[in-house]
Amino acid sequence: MATYLLRRAAFLVISLFLASVLLFLLLRLLPGDPANSLLSIGATPEQIAAARHQIGSDLPLLEQFVSWLGRLVTFDLGTSFVSTLPVGPEIASRLAVTVPLTLLSFLLAVVVAVPIGFIAAYRSNSWYGSLLSGLSQLGIAVPAFWVGMLLITVFSLRLRVLPAGGFPRDDWADPADALTSLALPVVTIALVMSASLIRYVRSATLDVLGSDYLRTFRALGSSFTGAMWRHGLRNAAVPVVSILGIELATTFLGAVVVESVFALPGLGSMLIKGIAQHDYPVIQGILFVSTFAVLVIGFVADLVQRLIDPRLRGTVSGNAR
Candidate list 39, 95, 108, 257; residue touching another protein; CB under 8 A: 257
Per rule CB under 8 A, is residue 254 in the interface with another protein?
A: yes
Per rule CB under 8 A, is residue 126 in the interface with another protein?
A: no
Among 106, 100, 254, smallest CA distance to 167 is for: 100
The window from 74-82, 173-181, 201-209, 228-236 that contacts another protein (CB under 8 A) reads 201-209
Per rule CB under 8 A, is residue 298 in the interface with another protein?
A: yes
The DSSP annotation for 193-259 comes to HHHHHHHHHHHHHHHHHT-HHHHHHHHTT--HHHHIIIIIHHHHHHHHHHHHHHHHHHHHHHHHHHH
Per rule CB under 8 A, is residue 142 in the interface with another protein?
A: yes
Q: How far is the CB of 76 from another protein (least distance, A)?
A: 22
Among 120, 266, 106, smallest CA distance to 194 is for: 106
Q: Judged by CB, which is closer to another protein: 4, or 292?
A: 292
Q: How far is the CB of 174 from another protein (least distance, A)?
A: 28
Name beta bridge partners: 79: 86
Name beta bridge partners: 86: 79
Q: How many CB atoms lie within 10 A of CB 247?
A: 24
Among 126, 121, 11, 56, smallest CA distance to 281 is for: 56
Candidate list 4, 122, 145, 155; residue touching another protein; CB under 8 A: 145
Per rule CB under 8 A, is residue 95 in the interface with another protein?
A: no
Per rule CB under 8 A, is residue 31 in the interface with another protein?
A: yes
Alpha-carbon Rg for the chain in angstroms: 24
Per rule CB under 8 A, is residue 198 in the interface with another protein?
A: no
What is the C-alpha separation between 203 and 25, in angstroms, rounded? 40
3-state secondary structure 67-84: HHHHHHHCCCCCECCCCC
User: Count of residues binding another protein (CB under 8 A)?
Assistant: 50
Q: Judged by CB, which is closer to another protein: 166, or 210?
A: 210
Binding residues (CB under 8 A) for another protein: these are: 14-15, 18-19, 22, 26-27, 30-32, 137-138, 140-146, 149-150, 152-153, 157-158, 203, 206-207, 210, 249-250, 253-254, 256-257, 260-261, 271-272, 274-275, 278, 283, 287, 290-291, 294-295, 298, 317
